[in-house]
Structure 1
Amino acid sequence: MTLATIVALAGATEHHGNAQAETFPFFVIAIVVFLALGLVTLSYRNVANRHAHKAQAYAEAHPVDLSQAGHGHH
């Protein structure tokens, strides 16, 4: 047998299966990953309000000079 014959015979085999059942684990894995990422995202909700006392203390220690505020416009 030559290499070309082996490749041709290997490619000629047909696969008759349930494509939905074979790909379902990928769907489950994707859902689990997206749920995990969603939980990570939700864990950062309201973080600024948890540290409002620190923001207030920083604002009092570093007053804003309104003449310097903006995007470099004078």
Structure 2
Amino acid sequence: MELVSLVTGILVTSFAVSIFSNKEDVQESMLIDEVESPGRLVTLSCQTCRKLKRHREIQEDLFECTGCGRQIDVR
């Protein structure tokens, strides 16, 4: 029974470490994107990528996907 508890604790700890380490990497990449070019970054659903992606505001209510470059007008 102690072996099962030990293995469970190791698995839970490894999952927690992997989850928190990925979030830090994403935050660093978001900071790099903000420094490279001005404009606000928002998360929108991209029709080309078919995923939720970060979009940079080019003009007022005109956003460009950081992944594929497709422009989305939300006016």
TM class by smaller structure: 0.3 to 0.5
Larger strand fraction of residues:
2
Which structure is higher in RCO with an 8 Å CA cutoff and minimum separation 6? 2
Rg (Cα) greater in structure:
1
Normalized against structure 2, the TM-score is what?
0.42
